[in-house]
Amino acid sequence: MEEVLFFGSAIGALGGAVGVIALRNPFYSVLALIVHLFSLAALFLLLTSAFVAAAQVVVYAGAVMVLYVFVVAYVGGGGESAWEPIPGQRFLAPLLGIALFVELSVAVLSSSLLALGTDGPDVEAGFGDPAAIGTLMLEKFLLPFEASSLLLLLAAVGAIVLAHRRREANA
Amino acid sequence: MSIEWYIVLSALLFSTGAVGILIRRSPLVILLCLELMLNAGNLALVAFSRMVGNEEGQVFAVIVMVVAACEVVVGLGLIVAIFRRRLPLNVDDLRELRG
Amino acid sequence: MSATAWAWLVLLFPLLGSIAIALGYRALPAKAAGIIGTLSIGLAFACGVAATISLLGDEPHSRHHASSLWDYASVAGLDIKLGIFVDPLSLFMVLVVTGVSTLIHLYSYGYMQSDEGYHRFFSYLNFFVFSMLLLVLAGNFVLLIVGWAFVGFASYALISFWYRRETATKAGMKAFVINVVGDIGLVLAAFLIFREVGAFDYGTVFERAPEVFTTNEWTITAICLLLLVGAFAKSAQLPLHTWLPDAMEGPTPVSSLIHAATMVTAGVYLIARTHVLFELAPTAADVAAFTGLATLLVAGTMALVMTDLKRAIAYSTMSQIGYMIMGVSIGAYSAGMFHLMTHAFFKALLFMAAGSIIAAMANDQNIDRMSGFGKAMRFTSITFVCGALALAAFPSTSGFFSKDEILAFAEARGGMYVIFTVLGYVGALLTAVYAFRLVFRVLPGRPCAEAQELIDTGHVAHEAPKNPATGEPEDTDVGFPGAEHHIAEQNWPMRAAMGVLAVLALVGGLVQVPDVDHVITNFLHPVFEASIFEHIHPSPRAEWIGLGIGGAISLLGIGIAYYFYVARAELPRRLEARLRPLHTLFVNKWYFDELIDFLVVRPALATGRFADRVFERFVVDGLVTGTAETVRGAGGVVRAVQSGFVRSYALLLFAGFAGLALYFLLAS
């Protein structure tokens, strides 16, 4: 059962990823990413990380993607021309991607970290619960938590500055 | 499924995102590929957290999500600003730093 | 004071004179420069006389003193001192050089009067005398080479004295380059001497030479041949003689001093000084003797057809030095030095008289245009004839005794050397003919225009000065006998000098009349007493016969000249037409200049051109600009990476990351 779910979600994730990079129309790419994100949420659930899965769906697929949809609607979904100005880019990029993947896989698979081959240790029932995450955030990781909220503030201010309409320099 | 599978999948998604960044020319789509890479990282983090047995990796993943959100906000703001100034939305047009 | 102290003073006075005139060039009035110059040489002569008197007070066997001021270099087996060597030979040269130089300075005092470069002239002239004295007084080979080089430089400075004249500067360069060739020979000889004997100073070298070298060993022969290269370059013997006729571009006092009496005799002095080495290398000595003989004859033929007065006298110098070289090479040392002395007298006189005549001709040196000066310039003609008589070895003149002494010695040595006597007499005949050719062409006959003007008005003709060789106008700003020319009749310093020399030319030979007195031989005996030729003395009978033959030949030569140039004046032209090829050969100086041009100058220029066009451009430039171009090219390649495309930067980023990961994977 677990394998079926895993492979299904994996195919969804991969499909979405390939869709993002391959589809011409940016709107379709956004949709593909949403599919990808949902598949990832499923994978998180398989890894008994309930909170992260929920956050993924609500924050990422919900808020961030909506933002994207708004912008794509505003900007318009123009495709890119087929001609590539940088010689060799179209050839080298997939090659590098494959090389990267192969290296990372080799690194992981031949690693002496034996625990990678297991399913992980047995965990108690509340693993991955919001309570557990919350406790950690407010106790051990308080500083990163506060820092990330500061970061959100900065991002909001930055967005406002960027969106600010230039006033004409008269009067 | 052993943890290896998740890590290898994460590697595959990461490379896909990388290829996308190198190939696509619209800044919007490049940002999307960036999201792909971040999410691949998240997957790896959560898988390792399951392997180790505590939730610290998941906390890390949540904060990565926060960072990704901020970055998307600013990036999209940039794109809107470019569009409003009627400049073409093409990463290749930023060529002034050539040697 | 000791002889060496006087000798140091001999060196000091000309040097001081040169420096004083050079430094005080703006402050000193012209006359003062001339007086300082002449006086310093006169003082040097006086010190030379004092040194001789002091030396004669010594025992004959100990009449050689070395004295040094300081050590030049005393390291690694080298021991070079700034030292002089005083013995009869060097003092003889000192007396001749300073004596004749004083008279020439006196002459120049008057002759160069209206020249813009008066101070420069006397400074250079004094420096020249200093260098020549350094050469003859040097006590080791290093100082000899120093003096040798200085003399070469002084000659160059004085030949191209009128430096705006292109012919003069070219002649100066030619003389200098040929002299440098001689210098090379001399330096190499000094190196070889040091290598074999281990010392540079005369005393050590001449003492140890017989022990170190066996007769006719190749090292000693090489040394002597190299010394000969130096001697021939300086003394204008074949084949390094081509500079001497061109050196007549210099002012006449220069020709008279340097190219008659002093510098060109340096080669003779060298061979006499190193006679110990030459006696160990008879082959080299024979080479020298035959070269002297060849020069003697070839120069004689050339002098026979020269139409330029000074050049004709220059070839005569070459020929007479051939006699001297021949003399000292076959062992007639005192005879050779005697001839050196008498030659200095009459040759300097001849040049002085020629200078006076040329001044009267407004600097035209072509004898074809000269005639009738016998009437126009009495004093000059008389002195000219005195010099010519001595040159032609007219009986009882100085040249008569000196030339025949050499030839008698050659005959006494016997064997192959009789050739020298026979051909020497042939040369003497040639000498007499060409000497009186000059006399009979210039002095008697109907006065030419300039001479006529002199007779009528007492005025020296002058037109805007022109270079006699090329006809281009002269640049009188920097020194050229201005608009004024000075002839002896109107100038007492010139007359004084010429008068003294005329007397010496006529009676100077009486110090060495065979069987009567041997002043010079006795004086020089301590130097040459160890020579293997000391025992050779022509018998008095042979000497008188030789003198008789010499006198007869001289009179015959004068008679032939009279016949050709006075009695039947059209004969030379007909002879020339009949013997046209021979005449052309002689007039073109036996094509030596062309030969040297072909063998040496053209290849050198071609090498220079090759170096410039090929080597410089491709190799040197190639290396330098090639390096620059390579760097630029490499930079260009690297620059191509900065395309400005963000995506290509990203590609490179990922590529680098992939490479790094690969490295770490492989390394682990």
Answer whether residue C132 shows pLDDT above 60: yes
Residues 65-94 of chain B with CB under 8 A from chain A are: 65-74, 76-81, 83, 89-90, 92
Q: Residue B34's pLDDT is what? A: 95
**Number of neighbours of residue C580 by Cβ within 10 angstroms:** 10
Helix H or strand E segment including C246: helix C243-246
User: For residue C403, which of C315, C328, C342 has the smallest C-alpha distance?
Assistant: C342
Q: Cβ distance C656 to A96 under 8 Å?
A: no
Q: Which residue type does C23 have?
A: L
Calculate the alpha carbon distances from C607 to A55, C593, C602, C612, C620 in Å.
89, 20, 8, 8, 16
pLDDT-derived band at C517 (thresholds 50, 70, 90) equals confident
Q: Residue C492's pLDDT is what? A: 83
Closest Cα of chain A to C644: distance in Å? Answer: 10
CA dist C377 and C564 (Å) reads 24
Q: Chain B residue with minimal CA distance to C639?
A: B99
Q: Residue A98's pLDDT is what? A: 93
Compute the C-alpha angle B14/B16/B18, nearest 5°: 70
Q: Residue C466's pLDDT is what? A: 63
Q: Cβ distance B75 to B31 under 8 Å?
A: yes
Pick A124 or B41 by higher pLDDT.
B41
Answer whether residue C483 shows pLDDT above 70: no
In this structure, the dihedral spanned by the alpha carbons of residues C424, C428, C431 and C437, taken in order and rounded to 10 degrees, is -150
Q: Which of B50-54, C132-136, C304-308, C548-552: highest mean pLDDT? A: C132-136
Percent of residues, chain C, with pLDDT higher than 90: 29
Q: Cβ distance C429 to C553 under 8 Å?
A: yes
In this structure, the dihedral spanned by the alpha carbons of residues C40, C43, C48 and C53, taken in order and rounded to 10 degrees, is -170
Pick A98 or C560 by higher pLDDT.
A98
Lowest-confidence region among C23-32, C397-406, C457-466, C525-534: C457-466
User: Chain C within 8 Å of B29 (Cβ-Cβ)?
Assistant: no
Q: Cβ distance C244 to C264 under 8 Å?
A: yes
Q: Using an 8 Å CB-CB cutoff, list chain C residues near A85.
A: 645
User: For residue C101, which of C319, C256, C235, C268 has the smallest C-alpha distance?
Assistant: C256
Q: Residue C67's pLDDT is what? A: 80
pLDDT-derived band at A171 (thresholds 50, 70, 90) equals very low
List the structure tokens of C219.
């090292």
Mutate to test the interface with A, among C641, C642, C647 (most CBs of A within 10 A): C647
pLDDT, one tens digit per residue, over A109-121 is 888 777 778 887 8
Q: Chain C residue with minimal CA distance to B91?
A: C646
Residue for token pair 């940002």 = B31
Q: Which residue type does C65 have?
A: H
Q: Residue A33's pLDDT is what? A: 95
Closest Cα of chain C to A80: distance in Å? Answer: 15
Answer whether residue C574 shows pLDDT above 90: no
pLDDT, one tens digit per residue, over A44-53 is 999 999 999 9
* Domain chopping of chain B, boundaries: 3-84
Q: Which residue type does C463 have?
A: E
pLDDT, one tens digit per residue, over B43-72 is 999 999 999 888 899 999 999 999 999 999
Contact check, Cβ <8 Å, A100/C654 = yes
User: Chain C within 8 Å of B89 (Cβ-Cβ)?
Assistant: no
CB-nearest to B97 from C639, C644, C654 is C644
Q: Using an 8 Å CB-CB cutoff, list chain C residues near A94.
A: none
List the structure tokens of A1.
């059962």
Q: Chain B residue with minimal CA distance to C651?
A: B22
Express the helix, strand and coil content of chain B in percent, nearest 5 each. 80, 0, 20
CA dist C494 and C112 (Å) reads 10
Q: Which residue type does C69 have?
A: L
Contact check, Cβ <8 Å, B53/A26 = no
Q: Residue C189's pLDDT is what? A: 93
Closest Cα of chain C to A92: distance in Å? Answer: 8
ipTM for the complex?
0.91
pLDDT-derived band at C584 (thresholds 50, 70, 90) equals confident
Mutate to test the interface with B, among C642, C646, C648, C665 (most CBs of B within 10 A): C646
List the structure tokens of A46.
């398989």
Answer whether residue A55 shows pLDDT above 70: yes
pLDDT, one tens digit per residue, over B16-43 is 999 999 998 889 999 999 999 999 999 9
Contact check, Cβ <8 Å, C650/B22 = yes
Q: Residue C473's pLDDT is what? A: 67
CA dist A107 and A105 (Å) reads 5
Topology of domain B3-84 in CATH is Helix Hairpins (1.10.287)
Q: At what angle do helices C282-305 and C580-587 cross, to 10 degrees?
A: 110
Outline where chain A has alpha helix (H).
2-22, 26-46, 50-55, 65-75, 89-109, 130-139, 142-163
Q: Using an 8 Å CB-CB cutoff, list chain B residues near A86.
A: 92
SS3 A84: coil
pLDDT, one tens digit per residue, over C344-357 is 999 999 999 998 88
pLDDT-derived band at B6 (thresholds 50, 70, 90) equals very high
Contact check, Cβ <8 Å, C657/A100 = yes
Cβ contacts of C407 within 8 Å, gap of 6 or more: C420, C421, C424, C425, C428, C546, C550
Residues 647-666 of chain C with CB under 8 A from chain A are: 647-648, 651, 654-655, 657-658, 661-662, 665
